[in-house]
Structure 1
Amino acid sequence: MICCGGSLAFVLGTFIAWRTLAIVGVVPCLVQLVGLLLIPESPRWLARFGHPGAFTGALQTLRGHGTDISEEASEIKVFTEKLQRLPKSKMLDLFQKEYIRAVIAGVGLMALQQLGGVNGVLFYASEVFVSAGFSSGNTGTVAMAVVQVPMVGLGVLLMDKAGRRPLLMISAAGTCVGCLLVGLSFLSKEQHWERDLNVLALAGLLVFIGSFSLGMGGIPWVIMSEIFPINMKGSAGSLVTLVSWLGSWIVSYAFNFLLIWSSYGTFFIFAAICGLTVVFVHRLVPETKGRTLEEIQASMNSSLTPFHKY
């Protein structure tokens, strides 16, 4: 739904002014605000903090009043009891020996996701197309929006069939190729080659966005939720989210300055980072498809076995 909303904003932005678009964006926020009043409290939260009656009622509401919830309720109670027996985690606990490889995999993957330039491309797509020689950026941004949604859907379908790691590597390799094509387009324009290759900018950005949507957009968040023990997920999620938004801010802030410095150099740098992501995933990110937390932890805590063999 996030992808659909973003793509819709791209399309609407070609027809209406940005101030009007900002006002339109308030509408789903208001709908969501009203909808929150109708959503019951999390059953897991109620079970964890000792509200058995409210826990049963909330779970029954979510599953439907004619549904037998006894088995699921029992599983949730067992989970919360196990969680309460575990020691409470702090942010610094993530840097203990048994968690450090998970931190490297989760934080590194999220940092590379952002430093590959995705938010710079998304936020300044229209300017990139104009800089590449197009009279308007509207056609390109609409094309990006059209490509994005089906590629996200394809990624969701393939994630549990192909596995997380192969999809991540294919996605990162695709973003690398896309950045190289855009960089080549800008290089041809700057070097005044006989034939400008501005069509490569359009092709490159479509390849970049399509490839990113296939795997690098969502799978890092899935992996992050699967590689940490249940008592560390809160701290790990906070750290990973911080790194993600910090990386997003750095790229968004620096993108225009980088384009002024060297338009083709900017995208060649992003291509190098995307290429590094392929190597990083191959060497340091474990496969989590169809594996228990214990199996994932065992593979990461083994100092003798490289991740790429799992």
Structure 2
Amino acid sequence: MAVIINSGPKFTPSKTKAKINMVYVTVLTLVATLGGLLFGYDTAVISGAERSVEEYMIKPLGLSSLAHGATISSALIGCIMGGAVSGFFSSRLGRKKSLMLAAFLFFISALGSAYPEFLFFEKGEHSMGLLLAFNFYRILGGIGVGLASAVCPMYIGEIAPAEIRGRLVSLNQFAIIFGMLVVYFVNWGIADGQTIEWINEIGWRYMFLSLTIPAGLFGLLLFLVPETPRYLTIVLKDDEALKILTKINGAERAKEIFAEIKETVEQKKSSIFSFGKKVIIIGILLSVFQQFVGINVALYYAPRIFESMGVAKDASMMQTVVMGLINVVFTVIAIFTVDKWGRKPLLIIGSVGMAIGMFAISIMSYYGIIGIWTLVFIIVYTASFMMSWGPICWVLISEIFPNKIRGGAIAIAVAIQWAANYLISSTYPFMMEFSGAFTYGFYGVMSLVSLFFVWKMVPETKGKSLEEIEGIWKK
């Protein structure tokens, strides 16, 4: 089918100042970011339970470290699936109903992961069937994470005024990190004062079950928020779209934004590459580098990493909480600077910091140095990520794709991001058996490569409307 692009009248970026209803847009953003909180909560809950899952399900079957890594990372298979289908659901059901589906999947996954014996197995039974059931429920939650990871920033990006879009989408990353921090506290609270035997038999179940509370709240609150105006315009619900735009931006600016949206969505396109391949390639590489720098190794295996430094198990849980607090602080720094400094400077600074952290850890691993400096450089690494690639990657993915291809393009980028995440996370135990110095050195090299990628290929989008950004790819 031929690709037809309506070259119609070009809009001129408006100088009309939006009368932003900050209370309303903040409420919508906070509800959407609960999906981000669940994203972080679900992916990090395994950090407290992974040793118990190994003792309860892996070791009794005599399985290898590869099976352990695959089980701990099994939710990522669902994340790949959820990311891949997010474009279909966000385009067919809409952004809001897609998030409702994600909330339902989170809830069911939490129940099933906590009690995988449900219906088919006896409690205390150690079998391959039970292990597969546990992985099934984790994959189900992963599908919810994949949906939320694509649709939450898409929802926020489509309701946010251009002047504060970077800040609002970055709040989703804050929610992800906050969700991780919350579950670190929850895991620590469940394990605190308990015997290892109790944790390995019962405690890990409570860790997964705790996810039902934020999942239920997210599902209920979604009934109170509207669909995004850009999706409503695509499905020809113009009156509803204009009403929401007016409530967010004021009447005069809303009419101008609506006219810009109408111009872009009325263009006829038949391919994801309607605006060229470069924008898709940039989106994919942003996703790949966000994972290849190794961040989720630090997040998923944090207690084990600290234990490998000679820290006691209880203390390693506490140091994981400290790392979570630092992650929150540096994500806040990104929120307050992304719309002032721009996207590219933050990404470049973050790449430099991550490279320094990982190369230092690699050198210390090679020489067998274990001590406070190892913790310091892990913090340097994670802090650099949290003020840059963590939030800014999601900001760019939510805004660089044109309106008509946004759902499908984000689906591709997010699915590949989760595939890269799975590859890096599941191979970590095996790589560490081979060489810790090589493993951390690889993540350091990827940090440097990500720097050159941003410098050469990624455009600056600070302060531009989604429709103005679309103009970059038309040129």
**Residue 262 of structure 2 aligns with which residue?**
81
Query: In structure 2, what is the Cα distance between the partners aligned to 1:80 and 1:283?
Result: 30
CA deviation digits over 1:73-105, x for unaligned, max 9? 5245424421332123433x26xxx52222232
**Is the counterpart of residue 233 in structure 1 residue 410 in structure 2?**
no
**Is the counterpart of residue 6 in structure 1 residue 180 in structure 2?**
yes
Query: In structure 2, what is the Cα distance between the partners aligned to 1:298 and 1:79?
Result: 11
Maintained 8 Å contact 1:181/1:204: yes
The letter of the residue matching 2:219 is L
Maintained 8 Å contact 1:172/1:278: yes
Structure 1 residues 27 and 296: CA distance shift in structure 2, 3 A: closer
**Is the counterpart of residue 110 in structure 1 residue 287 in structure 2?**
yes
Aligned pairs for 1:297-308 (under 5 A) are: none
Identify the structure with bigger relative contact order (alpha carbons < 8 Å, sequence gap 6+).
2
**Is the counterpart of residue 161 in structure 1 residue 347 in structure 2?**
no
**Is the counterpart of residue 288 in structure 1 residue 288 in structure 2?**
no
The letter of the residue matching 1:264 is A
**Residue 308 of structure 1 aligns with which residue?**
none
Structure 1 residues 301 and 271: CA distance shift in structure 2, 3 A: farther
Maintained 8 Å contact 1:89/1:235: no
Structure 1 residues 140 and 185: CA distance shift in structure 2, 3 A: farther
Secondary structure at 2:404 match in 1: coil
Identity, % of aligned pairs? 28
Query: In structure 2, what is the Cα distance between the partners aligned to 1:298 and 1:23?
Result: 47
CA deviation digits over 1:239-274, x for unaligned, max 9? 111111111111111111111111121101111111
**Residue 41 of structure 1 aligns with which residue?**
227
Deviation at 1:298, TM superposition (A): 7.4
Query: In structure 2, what is the Cα distance between the partners aligned to 1:46 and 1:284?
Result: 32
The letter of the residue matching 2:184 is F
**Residue 424 of structure 2 aligns with which residue?**
251
The number of aligned residues is 287
Maintained 8 Å contact 2:358/2:378: yes
Aligned pairs for 1:1-310 (under 5 A) are: 1-16=175-190, 17-52=203-238, 54-55=240-241, 69-71=250-252, 73-91=254-272, 93=273, 99-136=276-313, 137-189=316-368, 196-291=369-464
Secondary structure at 1:87 match in 2: coil
Query: In structure 1, what is the Cα distance between the partners aligned to 2:250 and 2:400?
Result: 28
The letter of the residue matching 1:87 is K
Structure 1 residues 108 and 53: CA distance shift in structure 2, 3 A: closer
Deviation at 1:281, TM superposition (A): 1.2
Query: In structure 2, what is the Cα distance between the partners aligned to 1:267 and 1:20?
Result: 33
TM-score by length of 2: 0.55
CA deviation digits over 1:174-208, x for unaligned, max 9? 1111112222332222xxxxxx3432221121111
Deviation at 1:46, TM superposition (A): 3.2
Query: In structure 2, what is the Cα distance between the partners aligned to 1:72 and 1:301?
Result: 24
In the alignment, structure 1 segments of 5+ residues that lack a partner are: 190-195, 303-310
Query: In structure 1, what is the Cα distance between the partners aligned to 2:243 and 2:464?
Result: 32
CA deviation digits over 1:30-57, x for unaligned, max 9? 0111112222333443343233555566
In the alignment, structure 2 segments of 5+ residues that lack a partner are: 1-174, 191-202
Query: In structure 2, what is the Cα distance between the partners aligned to 1:297 and 1:75?
Result: 16
Secondary structure at 2:387 match in 1: helix
The letter of the residue matching 2:333 is L
Query: In structure 1, what is the Cα distance between the partners aligned to 2:334 and 2:205?
Result: 33
Maintained 8 Å contact 1:115/1:270: yes
CA deviation digits over 1:153-174, x for unaligned, max 9? 1011111222211110111111
Query: In structure 2, what is the Cα distance between the partners aligned to 1:183 and 1:123?
Result: 19
Query: In structure 2, what is the Cα distance between the partners aligned to 1:275 and 1:43?
Result: 39
The letter of the residue matching 1:135 is A
Structure 1 residues 84 and 285: CA distance shift in structure 2, 3 A: closer
Maintained 8 Å contact 1:184/1:200: no
CA deviation digits over 1:280-301, x for unaligned, max 9? 1112222222356787677778
The letter of the residue matching 2:268 is P
TM-score by length of 1: 0.82
